[in-house]
Structure formats: C-alpha cells, structure tokens
Structure 1
Amino acid sequence: MATILTSSESYVNAEVGEYQELPIPEPKEAATEMTTTPKFGYFRVVLLGVGLLCILQGSLNIALRLALSKPSVKVETEGRSCPRGWLMFASSCYYISSQRSRKNWDESREDCLQRNADLVVINSRQEQAFLTGFTEAAWVGMTDREQEGTWLWVDGTEVDKDRLQWASGQPDGAFGGEDCGDLHTMITFIGLNDFNCSARSQWICEKRLQ
C-alpha cells in the first residue's frame, strides 16, 4: 500500500509495507547449559552412587541388628553405670576404640587390661547384634593359638560356632595362619572372622558392671 503526503513546498512518497517478524535468537544460557550438562552428567551419577551406598550401609546395619536381636531378659542395672565413654548392654560395659587408634591383637588386649577390662567375649547373638555396626572391623577376645581350629575366648570358654554368626566362609585360616578373631561389618562381609594377629585394627573391650 502506498501513501502520498503533500505539502505546499514538497511532497513525500512513503511506502508502508507489512510488518515481518524476525526469528528470536536462542538465549546463550540455554545453549551453554546444553553443552555443559553432558560434561557433568558422569560426576552426578558417581555422587548419586556413593550416596546410595552410604544409605545402603546404614540400612544394612539397622536391619542386621533387628534380624539378630530377639527379646532378651531385662537386666536390673539400677545404681550401676558404665565409665564415661563406655556403652552398656545387659550387665556389661563396652569400650570401642576410635577409628584413629589401630593396634594388633596383643596390643589391643593389653589396652583393655589397662582399663580393668579384657577383649570382648561374645556370648549370644543379641550381644553380637548390639556390637555390630560400630566399626567396619574390630578385634574381639577369641584366638586359636593353642590348637589350630579350636577357638577359645580370653576367659577360657570355647567359641560356640553354631550360636554366633560368622562371616561367609570363615574361619578359613588363610595366608598361612589367622589365629585371632575380629568382628566385621561390611556390606558383603558380616560376622566373626579369623585374621592375622599382627594386623592393626580397632578393638572392643568389655568389663562387667560392678
């Protein structure tokens, strides 16, 4: 469509055409996000996997305690208490060494004796369930040093293999001799285990309530 404007001095011809929309360029932010998302996708998957493993480990510890535990006779502990930093179960107190403290089996037992205690003697599945999950691995008071294959607690009593839970395939006496016992809590390896006495690990002490 053409329109002619006229004045006394001059005239102006102007053509007015139809308005045509131009394509809007894609925002730079969106393009950047599309190019960077694949770059970080792998790391997100790895972080998610680690988080799921942590949740699985925690759930496993809780499920294991529930599975092993059964209603037990309530022990009267009124007027009796454990030393600071010790845990109480039934009529015993338990000391669990810190993750930074690592000793071999003999050193661990010596530490317990200095605390007027000894390496823990596990007498039932309920007690084992209570101690399971505090550490990935910790020395307990059993050994077969006197006679290979005959496991004894530090108090001289024999380990009841049928009454307690051993880790899969244990004891196996691997690596030329594993004469000391520890308690494992790992996703695929849970229960009592025989291990080299010179290895360094955490440990669990036990003393009876006074």
Structure 2
Amino acid sequence: MASFKLPAFLCVAVLSSMALVSHGAVIGLCQGACPKGWAKHNNRCFLHVAEKKTWIVAELNCLHLGGNLASEHSEDDHQFLKELHKGLDSSDSPFWIGLSAVHEEKTWLWSDGTRASGKDYTRWNPAEPNNFGGKEDCVHSNYGGKKNWNDVKCDRKYPSICSLRSNN
C-alpha cells in the first residue's frame, strides 16, 4: 500500500477542492437543509457510502462530495453514526471514519481538520490503538464486541460515512 505523507494528502485535498470550485459545485456549502440523501445531526450533514473503499479513496470520495470522512466529538455523534450505518448496512460491519495517523505515526488527526488530541472525545476499543502488524494508520468504527474504534491498515476496504458542515 502507498503511504501518504501530510503534504501529499493536503495537495490531493486542495486539488480536489479546486476541481469542485471550477465546476461550480456548491454541495459543500450545505446551507440550511442537508442535500438529498444526507441526514442532519448536530449542525452537520452525513451520508452513508455503502461501497467498500480504502481509507484514502473513501476520503477522496467525501472530498468530491464537498465534505470529509466523518469525525466524532461526542458519545452522541458516535451513536448517531453507528445507527446511520446499522440502518443502511444489514451486516453491521465496520465503517471508515476520518481519523488517521497517515501523516505521522501515533499522531491522530481528523481529516476535516477538527481537533483529535488531548482530552478530546475518543471511543477506542480496549487495547487500541495497538498498531498490530505495523502501519495501522487509519481508523474504522463499529468494530469488535464493543463496536468502537480500531486502528487498521489503510488499504483495507470498508463502507464509510461522509460529513458536511451545516449552517443551521
């Protein structure tokens, strides 16, 4: 699997955003109600993407839609995402969220730029993150008996949840 350093990842993100602007896309503005097919929760809009993708391809897909992979900042967010996924994926399998350490080992950041350090909300499964087998730099949720976060290799393929900021 290719390893993406932060400058390369940001370059892809900026270029993707520029492509959206040059085509007149305004999906990411999400003013008021969420776009069709998106669910609103705590001033954000969420979209469940059932197609299994690698973490970076899932993030690029969310960027293309005007957002990022979803971040979780509270137990309420965590439960909402699990219910959104459970309602649309009968297997109750894991799904990608926007947390990763692709830029620097053991330094977790949300792909939407929100805080993921210090005393921020976390929902790791017991003994996670463990970097089992090395290079587990991406995070999926809804994993294991507790159905919480797990660090995993970024080249695995899972469904994902994208999010957009809402002005209301």
2:109 partner amino acid: L
1:154 paired to 2:154: no
Tell me which amino acid in the other structure corresponds to 1:104: T
Considering Cα pairs closer than 8 Å and 6+ residues apart, tell me whether 1 or 2 has the greater RCO: 2
Distance 2:147 2:127 in 1: 11
Task: Report the Cα distance in structure 1 between the residues aligned to 2:162 and 2:110, rounded to whole angstroms.
Answer: 13
* Distance apart, 1:170 and its partner CA: 1.0
CA distance in 1, matches of 2:81, 2:117: 17
**Does the alignment pair 1:166 with 2:124?**
yes
Q: Give the number of equivalent residue pairs.
A: 129
From 118, 122, 136, give the equivalent of 1:178.
136
Indicate yes or no: 2:77 matched with 1:119: no
- Which of structures 1 and 2 has the bigger CA Rg? 1
- 1:144 corresponds to which residue? 101
How far is the alpha carbon of 1:158 from its aligned partner? 3.9
Q: Does 1:205 align with 2:162?
A: yes
Work out the CA distance in 2 between the residues paired with 1:87 and 1:184.
19
Q: Distance in 2 between matches of 1:173 and 1:193?
A: 9
* Runs of 4+ off more than 6 Å: none
Residue 161 of structure 1 deviates from its aligned partner by 7.1
| TM-score (norm: length of structure 1) | 0.57
Could you state the TM-score of these two structures normalised by the residue count of structure 2? 0.70
Q: Which runs of 5+ in 1 are unaligned?
A: 1-78
Amino acid at match of 2:63: L
2:79 to 124, 129, 132: 129
- Structure 2: state its 5+ residue gaps: 1-30, 86-91
Partner of 1:72: none
Q: Distance in 2 between matches of 1:114 and 1:108?
A: 10
Q: In the aligned structure 2, how far is the partner of 1:83 from the partner of 1:157? A: 22
CA deviations over 1:108-144 (Å, ceiling 9, x no partner): 0111111111111212121111112424211111111
Change (3 A) 1:85 1:152: same
Q: Deviations over 1:52-100 (max 9, x none)?
A: xxxxxxxxxxxxxxxxxxxxxxxxxxx92111211110100000112xx
2:140 is equivalent to residue 190 of structure 1:
no
Measured against aligned partners, the alpha-carbon deviations of 1:132-167 in whole angstroms (never above 9, x if no partner) come to 242421111111122211111113344247522211
RMSD of aligned alpha carbons: 1.9
Q: Which deviates further from its counterpart, 192-201 or 130-139?
A: 130-139
The whole-number CA distance in structure 2 between the counterparts of 1:88 and 1:155 is 17
| Residue 204 of structure 1: how far off its partner (Å) | 0.7
- The amino acid across from 2:133 in the alignment is F
Q: Distance in 2 between matches of 1:185 and 1:86?
A: 23
Look up the equivalent residue of 2:139 and give its one-letter code.
G
Tell me whether 1:96 sits opposite 2:54 in the alignment: no
